[in-house]
Amino acid sequence: MVGFTQAIHRGLTADHGGSVDFVPRVVAHMDLDAFFAAVEVRDDPALAGRPLVIGGDPAGRGVVSTASYEARRFGIRSAMPAAEARRRCPEAIFLRPDMPRYRERSRQVWSLVRAEVPVLEQVGIDEGYIDLYRAVWTSGGARRFLARLQQTVRKETGLDASFGCGTCKTVAKIASDADKPQGVVVVPAGGEAAFLAPRPLRALPGIGPVTGERLARAGLATIGDLAVLDDDALADLLPAAHGVELRARACDWTTTPSGPCSPPRTAWSCVTAHADGTRARWTRRRAPRCR
């Protein structure tokens, strides 16, 4: 019997022997690293290694769009007032965003991804989900496939990307942020709750500043803290529907809704590869619903 984890990591071929009667969805999230700043550095290598802030006017009410990793060492973050960024690092270089140029670079990256993965869902100029169901079967597993894609993007565009991979979009997104920059983090099927539990609550999509603050005041720090809340404690903290959905994301990935970047939910999910390698029996079973 080949387990879920091995199926994801190695892909599956008949000569593995044994059988798999269920293969989970495999979705990856790609996030370009410090994208606006990275484009500026690529186009002007003299900026490399300098603290770089892309955003509004630091003399006015501008906010930071993107900070290079060198600028982040000074505590500069996206959405921070640019004036605050300048206080933290007066020697930082401040540039206004050049969206047409960023969009052009983004198109180059996504056309490279699209050449490798037919099913994808771009959700921002520098991020999106890619369906790896086919890739794990044909390219020796998700990790190898993503590492190769990461190299291709770097070689062709000079830009770095981080990837997270798992059985659902929530896990994939959090995983892509777990080892930035240039990360490739694959969360095996069945390992979702263990991966999520120690992460800070704010990493969970749907927890904004207000909700995050309310949960922090109640002593909750990690996704795992939210996952183990009982119904009464949850109802005390958050409006019912919102709380239930967030807790589901934190602990029960199978109940969250399916997103567009999904293979058909009913037709593809099962294959039985027989030990003798002579025939494979394809069956139909409902895949987990997962976001």
- Closer residue to Mg ion in complex, CB, 69/74: 69
Q: Which is nearer to Mg ion, 37 or 189 (CB)?
A: 37
CB of 181 to Mg ion, least distance (A): 9
Q: Output the smallest distance, CB 15 to Mg ion, in A.
A: 39
**Furthest C-alpha separation in the chain:** 71
Closer Cβ to Mg ion, 35 or 253, answer by number: 35
Q: Is there a catalytic annotation at residue 127? A: yes
Instruction: Provide the token pair at 31.
Output: 């996030």
Pick 26 or 32: Cβ nearer Mg ion: 32
CB 53 within 8 A of CB 76: yes
User: E strands of 19-173, at which residues?
Assistant: 27-32, 52-55, 64-67, 93-95, 120-124, 127-131, 161-166
Residue with tokens 């490739």: 184
Token pair recorded at residue 179: 């080892």
- CA distance to 52, 105, 112, 230, 260, per residue, from 85 (Å): 10, 26, 34, 41, 37
* Residues contacting residue 178 through CB under 8 Å, at least 6 positions apart: 164, 185, 199
**Residues at the interface with Mg ion (CB under 5 A):** 31-32, 35, 126
Return the sign of the alpha-carbon dihedral for residues 234, 235, 239, 243: positive
Residue 159 CB, nearest distance to Mg ion (Å)?
Answer: 10
Q: What order of strands is seen across the sheet that includes strand 161-166?
A: 120-124, 127-131, 27-32, 161-166, 184-186
Q: Which is nearer to Mg ion, 32 or 142 (CB)?
A: 32
Three-state DSSP at 79 gives: coil
Please report how close the Cβ of residue 46 comes to Mg ion at its closest, in angstroms.
23
Which amino acid is it at 193?
A
Is 87 or 107 the residue whose CB approaches Mg ion more closely? 107
Catalytic annotation, pick one of 40, 70, 127, 192: 127
Phi, psi of 30, rounded to the nearest 5 degrees: -105, 135
CB of 123 to Mg ion, least distance (A): 11
Task: State in angstroms the smallest separation of the CB of 30 from Mg ion.
Answer: 9
Q: How far is CA 77 from the centre of its chain?
A: 19
User: Which residues are known catalytic residues?
Assistant: 127
